A and B are shown apart, each in its own frame.
Chain A
Amino acid sequence: MALANPAVTADAVRARLERGQLDIAGAVFKALISLAILLSLLVIGVLLYDVVHDGWSVLADRPVDFLSGTLRSQAGEAGVFQGLRGTFWIGVFTVVLAFPIGIGAAVYLEEYAPDTRFTRFIAINIRNLAGVPSVVYGILGFAIFVKTLALFPEWLPFLGGRTFTGGRTTMAAGITLAVLVLPLVIITASEAVRAVPDSIREAGFGVGATRWEVVRSHVLPYAAPGIITGTILSLARALGEAAPLILVGAVTGRLGQSGGLLDPAQLHERFTAMPIIITDWSGQPGAFQTENAPAAILVLLVVVLFANTAAILLRNRYEKKR
């Protein structure tokens, strides 16, 4: 049949359609979109060069010291460990709280909720929430997780007399950022679930599967790569936010307590985080601004890249399964 050699056929068809004329609009379009990608790469390249150029000396001279050091008054002694610890726990809260709740809400909205004016109203509002400036979430976090939840010390007896969040703590910050990225998770997960072809659902229903079975073994696996892409974006956003943390009460100058990375006791302690350290150091005189801040930016970049790589590997696995 004619499909035996599709390359030749396609060329032949194009040659006849173009009748020997140049496709000028097509060429211009291609040049423009190439320019767009080049510009994006150029901006990233310049930023990376600048940061590596300024920050490399610190990471090369005292890599272990810088990564394991605490906030200090002397730029040459200061390190980012406490920031890494805070950022790590914020990531944990985002993964543990925002992802299940967000994906659950998305599946409910797409698969279970009836298409009424009310559900559409909710869907629109979730979209609006995703556009709310992060500072507003900071104020929310301060009002609810730092203040209100600190008013009921007897709330949960197993907290041993501490309040739920304990005030301006790692926990309050983690919950605040989980709430911040929740709309983003819901929206991206909704899109992924909506992109699952109806034929797949109908095939499931056709062989007598219940809605739960269809969602579990057909819709979710099919939507998983899309959902994970959304969670990558959300996690990266949570790790990079500084503004809400300032309001929740991140510490900039000195953090006295010195627990390990995984020590859960610090959930109830004051905290700091990488973006906060970067912001603070950038505003200080001398080597803090010229060397330490770029080095801290590099560290945060690597952390985010690690998180993203893990998520991308996970996504690829699901894509293959599909």
Chain B
Amino acid sequence: MRFPPSRLVRLTAMLMALSLFAAACGDDEEDDPVAAEDTETEESSDSGASEDPSGSGATGGELSGEINVSGSSTVQPISVRVAELFEEVEPDVVVNVDGPGTGDGFELFCNGETDISDASRPIDEEEVAACEESGIEFIELKVAFDGISVLTNPANDAVTCLTFEDLYALVGPEAEGVENWSDAQALATELGSTTELPDAPLEIVGPGEESGTYDSFIEIVFGDIAEAQLEAGAITEDQEETTRPDYQSSPDDNTIIQGIEGSDTSLGWVGFAFAEEAGEGVKELEVDGGEGCVAPTAETIADGSYPISRPLFIYVSTTAMEENPAVAAYVEYYLGEGISAVE
């Protein structure tokens, strides 16, 4: 791994330039834990500054540098698509996108290792504290809405629309042991639903506790009902943010789809994108969140009328934006042309 002399000279020159730069920056430098990132970001900011630091986006083809994006696997495809489109405008900017999960993403982000963090939920207090501790300041941007589809088998004609109450009675913590749709009727009616549940075996397939889709489903669908039931003493505090424990869970959305296809009177929930791709094998149910039955479509999710939808975010490090004009240009593109071109 020996570099040719010319390269070595160039690198040494660059190093000297960097040390001068660092000296000029003075005590702004204290909080960057990863030395490797250091060199790279400064290299890019250097080259950016020598051209035109304010010419972001519109001019095009002027910027270079590296942008690291990590976080939610749900947002990953959007960020990748935007990066692909952005590449056509700024071909010299290298954008890496990764999707280990929202929580892992924030860990990297607050460590200063990434410039942008994709998230399928808002940042929580602990993560904010971690960011503050390492001096990372950020802005939160809402980039899209993601729906969760409630599914059954196409053979299940008796069901077309379910209310939040029905879903609570079928899947909620009080539903433990319910093996037939009609067994949940009493509880659903008591909670105020007028849906008639069929007399058919109930087979539930859904994501497990480790999934963001699980958390969102519980929060959006069960939230208010579970709180009321807790006050009424029907469930314990431990049960408030859970489902029934006795259903078939899988971390893999494709496995859930297969489970729903495999049984005539199944019930389950997955992210909208997976349900759409599954096609004829599953039936997406309409959901009534108190304002009538709405079917999940790209439009109803985007305008918020489909009740089980959640916003998706990107978190942008303002430190990275200041140091690397490419980050600002990418974000600007993301919110402008990028997001409208994606869907």
The chain A residues found within 8 Å of chain B, CB to CB, are 71-74, 150-151, 153, 158-163, 166-167, 246, 249, 251-257, 264, 267, 270, 280, 282-286, 289
A sample of 13 cross-chain residue pairs with beta-carbon separation below 8 angstroms, ordered by A number, consists of A150-B34, A153-B35, A158-B3, A251-B98, A252-B99, A253-B80, A256-B67, A256-B83, A256-B93, A267-B1, A270-B68, A270-B96, A285-B271
A150 touches B35 (CB 8 A): yes
Contact B8 A158 (CB under 8 A): yes
Interface string of B113-130 (1 = CB under 8 A from A): 100000000000000000
With both beta carbons as reference points, the residue of chain A lying nearest to B275 in the complex is identified as: A285
Q: Interface stretch among B10-18, B55-63, B195-203, B238-246?
A: B10-18
Asked if B73 is at the interface of the complex by the 8 Å CB criterion, the answer is yes
Residues of A within 8 A of B98 (CB): 249, 251-253
With A285-B253, A285-B273 given, name 5 new contacts (CB 8 A): A160-B3, A163-B35, A252-B98, A254-B84, A285-B277
- Report if A161-B96 is in contact (Cβ < 8 Å); known contacts: A73-B77, A73-B84, A285-B254: no
Instruction: Report B-chain residues with C-beta under 8 Å of the C-beta of A72.
Output: 80, 84
Closest CB of chain A to B33's CB: distance in Å?
A: 9
B140 CB–A CB distance under 8 Å: no
Determine how close the nearest CB of chain A comes to the CB of B276; give it in whole angstroms.
8
Name the distance in Å between A88's Cβ and chain B's nearest Cβ. Answer: 17
- Other-chain residue from B1, B34, B69, B93 in contact with A167 (beta carbon distance below 8 A): B34
When the two chains form their complex, are residues B83 and A254 in contact, meaning their CB atoms are under 8 A apart? Answer: yes
What residues on B are CB-neighbors of A249 within 8 Å? 98
Contact (A253, B15) CB under 8 Å given A158-B3, A163-B35: no
> Chain B residues in contact with chain A, CB under 8 A?
1-3, 7-8, 11-12, 14-15, 18, 34-37, 39, 66-69, 73, 76-77, 79-81, 83-84, 87, 93-100, 113, 252-254, 271, 273-274, 276-278
Closest chain A CB from B47 CB (angstroms): 16
**Distance between Cα atoms of A246 and B342 in the complex (Å):** 27
Q: Which of A73, A153, A253, A285 is the most central at the interface, judged by chain B CB atoms within 10 Å of its CB?
A: A253
Q: Which of B2, B254, B271, B273 contacts A282 (CB 8 A)?
A: B254
Residues of B within 8 A of A283 (CB): 73, 252-254
Given contacts A153-B35, A253-B76, contact A161 B253 (CB under 8 A): no
Q: Which chain A residues border B35 with CB–CB below 8 Å?
A: 150-151, 153, 163
Q: Once the chains are docked, how many angstroms separate the CA of A251 from the CA of B68?
A: 10
Give Cα A190–Cα B222 distance, bound, in whole angstroms.
60
Which B residues are in CB contact (< 8 Å) with A256? Answer: 66-67, 83, 87, 93-96
Query: In the complex, what distance in Å separates the CA atom of A289 from the CA atom of B93?
Result: 29
CB of A7, distance to nearest CB on chain B (Å): 57
**A158 proximity list for chain B (CB < 8 A):** 1-3, 8
| Least distance between A285 CB and chain B CB atoms (Å) | 4
Enumerate chain A residues within 8 angstroms of B80, measured Cβ to Cβ. Answer: 71-73, 253-254
Q: Collect the chain A residues with CB atoms within 8 Å of residue B100's CB.
A: 246, 252
What 7 pairs between A and B have smallest CB-CB spacing?
Answer: A256-B94, A160-B11, A253-B97, A286-B277, A285-B277, A254-B97, A73-B81
